[in-house]
Amino acid sequence: MTRRPPLVLVAPAAAAVAFLVLPGVALVQRAPWSSLHDLLTESAVADAMRLSLVVSLAATAVAVALGLPLAWLLARVDFPGRALLRALVLLPMVLPPVVGGTALLFALGRRGLVGQWLDRWFGLTLPFSTTGAIVAATFVAMPFFVLTVEAAIRQSDPGLEDAAATLGATPLTTFRRVTVPLVAPSIAAGAALTWARALGEFGATVAFAGNVPGRTQTLPLATFLALESRPEEAIALSLVLLAVSLAVLVSLRRHWILR
């Protein structure tokens, strides 16, 4: 039985939709459709698009590889200071990204806390490199993955894991064969969120990795600079980000999240 939804809920919801969608519509309306193809096939733009894909996908891969064990640890292992640790690892979500990027410089820069040793021992300099851009994107995006997956593991039935253990499965086997399949939809959802965040990442990247065309100049950086002198190109670049993320989020939602 469905009843008419109350207006007091529908009206603010509609306002929220209008507020969130309107800027996107305005962007599409301002798009230079006739010159769009030329703008987007320019080699600098193509470079930024390719780099954005590489950086955001690599950041997502790192976030999944490191974030999944962390989410499991936070959800399933009881240890002193767990609440504090959770707050600390989620910090990048509330830290202004530019501050996060500068903090990364303090930590991993050429003269940073750890970075000076990376530089001295391995000759590894992260700023101004694509690896640096991946580090920055991972820093801001990984918490989204950890948060999503931790909540899912918490809500999954620990009885199934206990059953596996009583049947002789080692903790690692239980994690691989029971826990991960149980929360697979949330892993996909978390990865999608993480990827979207990494794709749009600007502040930490520009502060930590700088703006080097072909190496660290991702789509958001190229867009920001284009806005300074070539607004048409900025709009075209934004349309690409808009279209790609919309497509991926919609398709993910249909195939994995809402099974």
Partner 1 sequence: MTRILLATVALLAAACSSTSKPTVRVLAASSLTDVYAQLASEFEEAHPGVDVELQFAGSSQLASLVVEGAPGDVFASADLVTMARVVDRGEARVDPEVFATNSLTLVVPTDNPAGVTGLDDLADRDLLVAQCAVEVPCGSAASALFASRDLVVEADSLEPNVRAVLTKVELGEVDVGVVYSTDALAAADRVAEVPLDPQRVANEYAIVTLDGAPAEADEFVAFVLSAAGRAALADHGFGLP
Residues contributing to the site for partner 1 (CB under 8 A): 8-9, 12, 102, 105-106, 109-112, 127-128, 206-207, 210-213, 216-217, 221, 224-231
Enumerate residues 6+ apart whose C-beta is below 8 A from 203. 96, 97, 98, 99, 100, 101, 140
Using the minimum distance from each CB to partner 1, give the nearer residue, 156 or 232.
232
What is the maximal distance between C-alpha atoms in the chain? 69
Using the minimum distance from each CB to partner 1, give the nearer residue, 171 or 231.
231
CB of 37 to partner 1, least distance (A): 22
CB of 111 to partner 1, least distance (A): 4
Q: Angle between the 130-155 and 184-200 helix axes, to the nearest 10 degrees?
A: 150
Using the minimum distance from each CB to partner 1, give the nearer residue, 72 or 202.
202
Enumerate residues 6+ apart whose C-beta is below 8 A from 63. 138, 141, 142, 144, 145, 146, 191, 194, 198
Cα Rg of the chain (Å, integer): 21
Using the minimum distance from each CB to partner 1, give the nearer residue, 101 or 190.
101
